[in-house]
Structure 1
Amino acid sequence: MTDAPDGSAARTSHDDLQYDRIGEDYELSKTLPLTWYVERPSVLGLLADVRGKDVLDLACGTGVYTRHARRLGAGRVLGVDISPKMIEACRAAEERTRLGVEYAVGDASELPRLGEFDVLLAAYLFNYADSPEALERMARTCARNLRAGGALRAFVAHPDFDFGRPLPERYGFSFEREPDPAHDGRIRVTAHTDPRISFSAYLPSGRAFEEAFAAAGFRDCSWDGARLSVEGELEHGPAYWDDFRANPPWTVFHCAKCAEGSAA
Structure 2
Amino acid sequence: MEATARITAVPDGLGGTRLPVLESDGPLALRRTRAAGAYARVTVVGAMSAPLGGDRLAVEADVEDGAALAVDSAAATVALPGRGGAHARYDVRLTAGAGACLRWLPEPLISAHGSDLRMTTRVELATSARLVLREEQILGRYGEEPGTLTTRLTVHRAGRPLLDQELSYGPEAPGGWDGGAVLGGHRATGQLLVVDPGFERNPPAAALLGDSAVLTPLAGPAVLVTAVAADALVLRRVLDGALQTFG
Q: TM-score, normalised by structure 1?
A: 0.29
Greater RCO, 1 or 2 (C-alpha within 8 Å, sep 6+): 1
Name the one with the larger strand percent: 2
Q: TM-score, normalised by structure 2?
A: 0.30
